[in-house]
Amino acid sequence: MRSIFLSASIPNPTRHPRYYETMDVIAIRDSVRALATVALPSACLFWGGHPSITPLIRVVAESVGITGGPHVRLFQSAWFSDVLPDDNAAFEEYALTEKGATLDESISVMRRHMLGSAPFDAAVFIGGMEGIEVEFDLFREYHPNAPVFPIASTGAAAKLLYERHAEALNLPPELETSFTYPTLFRSLLALSTS
């Protein structure tokens, strides 16, 4: 079974404007739902439990009857143990990683545990802020030969990553222009296994 890593979030307007000003909330939501719809029946989807993303995946996972087993791997830092989103309970199990001394340390522990937990076949980056950029770099460190797909049409950090790496990584132009996400992900995931 293929393993797909998802790094995604909806930018917070109180954070850096370079993320918020270019984001397309509808595109972010549509692309997360499309990725889950395309990936879950035949692959395992890994993601960190961002509260703007997990509800979208939960709806798709429940609609196709896949909330556990080999198809979903939700990671959450124990830093958030007191405020875990209700959506996490929809999944049969999820990884609660060790709490660090600070929030940043706790999230770093979670990211390293998550990205070192499987040999990934591909990574998808949607919308997001600083964390998406950090996860992109970490993913490339842990899995240098796996394809990465920053979905630039969703804006925010994914757009910045695409602009920064499109030429060097020979990224498909559809990452910037396509809004037909189910078709895009079927194509990308097929490309990631060739």
Query: Band of the pLDDT at 191, cuts 50, 70, 90?
Result: very low
Distance CA 145, CA 121 (A): 9
Report the mean per-residue pLDDT for the chain.
Answer: 92
Which domains are present in the chain? 2-191 (3.40.50.450)
Q: Helix or strand or coil: residue 9?
A: strand
Decide: 92 and 68 in contact? Cβ < 8 Å.
yes
The amino acid at 90: A
Distance CA 176, CA 8 (A): 16
CA-wise closest residue to 110 among 159, 75, 135, 161 = 75
pLDDT of residue 85: 73
Q: Is residue 193 over pLDDT 60?
A: no
- pTM of this prediction? 0.94
Distance CA 80, CA 117 (A): 20
* Helices marked H in the chain: 17-20, 25-39, 54-63, 103-115, 130-142, 156-165, 174-177, 181-191
pLDDT of residue 14: 84
Residue written as token pair 């960190």: 48
pLDDT over 90, % of the chain: 74
Distance CA 65, CA 135 (A): 29
